Structure 1
Amino acid sequence: MGFVKEFKEFAMRGNVVDLAVGVIIGGAFGRIVTSLVEDIITPAILTPALEAANLDNLADLVIPGTAIKYGNFISQVISFIIIAFALFLIIKGINNFKKAEEAAPEEPAAPSKEETLLAEIRDLLKTRG
């Protein structure tokens, strides 16, 4: 039973669960961005180029005489740029939020009872001496 208990502690540790949630959210976000690129942005940007080349689909863009599909590559590059920019904005927002929390000045800690007592003794000695 020691092995199972150890595995359970490992699997339920906060970092592992956070990582799993991040991967799942990242996968869902990736599908949203892929749809945005392939269904909205790419057709809007490349429609004139596709019409000039007499093509209906970006995947039909190939180098003549080869099997190199540069249309798919263009779509993936656009998708990467959008994902990278979105992550940049998210991380920048998180960093700004952390800076705002850190910038809030902390009140100095109240002196402990020992410090207060020592200060009173010091003041008494000054007045006597």
Structure 2
Amino acid sequence: MSMLQEFKEFAMRGNVVDMAVGVVIGAAFGKIVTSLVNDVIMPPLGWITGGIDFSDMKLVIRAADNSNPAHKIPEVALAYGSFINAIIAFVIVAFAIFLLVKVLNRFYTKAAAATPPDVVLLTEIRDLLKNKQ
């Protein structure tokens, strides 16, 4: 078997295709959540906290020095505000996925609980035959 055939079989397995679809949908969902955090959640949160914009929060280790145009020194800072935004985005994504899985599990439980009538009948016949012997 050639390497190309092996790769084709690997790539066409159901799990690989499902994973690829999940990655694409996850990327699109990530953009939606980023917009939700930056455009919907963070402005009211900043307003509640007195106008604080988390994305601009930083701890300056060394200030920028632009006094010499020939040799500009950039600012060195820890942008912990961006980290706070990322944590909030993660919590929102995790909660949204939790809710989605919870709803899907409810559907799967209801689908599994409803046994078709013909299966019930066949089960009863099997049990009667088992007790007859």
* TM-score normalised by structure 2 residue count: 0.70
In structure 1, stretches of 5+ residues that fail to align are 123-129
Shift of 1:70: 2.0
- Written as runs of structure 1 = structure 2, the 5 A alignment for 1:81-120 is 81-105=91-115, 106-109=119-122
Distance 1:10 1:87 in 2: 28
Greater RCO (CA < 8 Å, at least 6 residues apart):
2
Query: Would you tell me which structure has more strand in proportion to its own residues?
Result: 2
| AA partner of residue 96 (structure 1) | R
State the AA in 2 paired with 1:9.
E
Q: What does 1:11-26 align with in structure 2 at a 5 Å threshold?
A: 11-26=11-26
Amino acid at match of 2:40: I
Q: Identity, % of aligned pairs?
A: 46
* Amino acid in structure 2 at the alignment position of 1:72: S
Letter in 1 for 2:111: E
Q: Give the partner amino acid of 2:84.
A: I
1:26-65 aligned at under 5 Å gives the runs: 26-49=26-49, 51=51, 57-63=53-59, 65=60
Supply the distance in 2 between the matched residues of 1:74 and 1:89 (Cα, whole angstroms): 23
> Which residues in structure 2 correspond to 1:66-81 (within 5 Å)?
66=61, 67-81=77-91
Question: Alignment RMSD, CA only?
Answer: 2.4
- Aligned length, in residue pairs: 110
- Which whole-Å CA distance do the structure 1 matches of 2:38 and 2:54 have between them? 9
Extract unaligned runs of 5+ from structure 2.
62-76
Amino acid of the structure 1 residue aligned with 2:103:
G
Q: Distance in 1 between matches of 2:58 and 2:110?
A: 50
Question: CA separation in 2, counterparts of 1:30 and 1:88?
Answer: 15
Q: Which has the larger radius of gyration?
A: 1
Deviation at 1:68, TM superposition (A): 2.1
* Matched residue SS, 2:78: coil
Post-superposition offset of 1:109: 1.8
CA distance in 2, matches of 1:88, 1:19: 19
Relative distance call for 1:100 and 1:48 in structure 2 (3 A) is closer
